[in-house]
Structure 1
């Protein structure tokens, strides 16, 4: 199963090296077959689709802001349809909009469930993308993520590095939400005190995250997309190249023993 997954990369990682679309031929040459856009790329979705097609790239998932999904879901679905997406991801809740108490997080989870059901009726899967704040305990001991994902209609795009930065082991969460993990962000954390110029992030496979076992757990949990991401690379091409090399190694490790023996 692992070898069937497309090699994917988040275009947010290329935002400091514009235009990101200029990187498409190189990404394809490296072996990526899929990219994950954000709303910064949706001004002309038809033009983006044409550029993707020219490099034989797909965009099977994309990040969409909450205000668009709630306020203009028809527009979001139109963008996703043009780009050939099957997964719509809501990636962030601004600090000023984050609930402070459990009941408000429950209500927020209800809002996401409403979005999820609407999108499913239009043929799309829906997932919430986490940062660290969803894994920080509330006063009653629960975590926001538990209320966000209370309704089975809401799937998850787990950013395991952000989970780790909250002081939580991500593997039990991948296992606990098996069947509802739509995608995983493959991100790495540099050793403490290093890569300061890159905000402490690292190229995939060069940091402290135990990615070989996490990759296996993500695949076992049903993730259909494993998407490389770096929030602040100083060199996007370096990040893209090193990360796909690492992901190829992880995928090789997770091949069934029978297929390895047959080689």
Structure 2
């Protein structure tokens, strides 16, 4: 897969799942391929239970940016106080990582846009509770759209925390069901000629091409890169 990513034209990858835990093994493979890791997702439980190991693995990749991808399934419907507690927890962890020259952010899904207190969503409460701590945001623009909000409004709403964005596409209703309704970038309904510059203008420094369930990952990364090169960049 790394060879396919490099052949498509990318220079960087974002780690996810257990990839960060592979440390030097995968870091060497990335270097051999000519790629580098721009950032990584990391489970909240790993940060809480084994922060030193997370830091050591991040150093192996020369990483500075970590993002919590989600809360566990059992917590996704929690009430306002649960989201505030999460914000305070992220704030504490972000301060600890800051001391190691690393940043910590939060990545959204559609459930993070559920209203929890008046007109405040779960995501609002997380960032509000984080206060002045350096908690950042990796905006998944397609998940924002899938939640029913205007993604541009939200990029502006939390631009003070925005540092990265996921770039993927939504298939027209009823299509690509085997791919959970996602599409290669440029083959769906999102207008990346507008969304890309908006994300950059509001603080995103890293734009990460993604597809949650591609049938042909190599084809997806190639198609998405080609579209962005020809139509957006």
TM > 0.5 between the two?
yes
2:18 matches 1:37 = no
The C-alpha deviation readout for 1:184-203, integer Å capped at 9, x for no partner, is 00010000011111111000
Q: Distance in 2 between matches of 1:43 and 1:143?
A: 32
The equivalent residue for 2:26 is 48
The equivalent residue for 1:132 is 110
The C-alpha deviation readout for 1:79-114, integer Å capped at 9, x for no partner, is 111011110010011121236221221121111111
C-alpha deviation, 1:43, in angstroms:
4.1
Q: Distance in 2 between matches of 1:204 and 1:61?
A: 20
2:113 matches 1:113 = no
* Equivalent of residue 216 in structure 1, options 172, 191, 197: 197
The equivalent residue for 1:158 is 139
Q: Distance in 2 between matches of 1:86 and 1:62?
A: 9
Paired residue secondary structure (2:86): helix
The equivalent residue for 1:177 is 158
Q: Distance in 2 between matches of 1:185 and 1:250?
A: 17
C-alpha deviation, 1:117, in angstroms:
1.0
Q: Which runs of 5+ in 1 are unaligned?
A: 1-22, 253-263
Is the 8 Å Cα contact of residues 30 and 241 (structure 1) preserved in structure 2?
yes
Distance change in 2, residues 1:43/1:113 (3 Å): closer
2:38 matches 1:96 = no
Higher RCO (CA < 8 A, seq sep 6+):
1
The C-alpha deviation readout for 1:107-141, integer Å capped at 9, x for no partner, is 21111111111111110111100000010112533
Q: Size of the alignment, in residue pairs?
A: 230
TM-score (norm 2): 0.94
Q: Which runs of 5+ in 2 are unaligned?
A: none
What CA RMSD, in Å, does the superposition of the two structures yield over aligned residues? 1.4
C-alpha deviation, 1:70, in angstroms:
1.3
Paired residue secondary structure (1:44): helix
* Equivalent of residue 167 in structure 2, options 186, 189, 204: 186
Of stretches 137-146 and 157-166 in structure 1, the one that deviates more from structure 2 is 137-146
Decide which structure has greater strand share. Answer: 2
Is the 8 Å Cα contact of residues 21 and 57 (structure 2) preserved in structure 1?
no
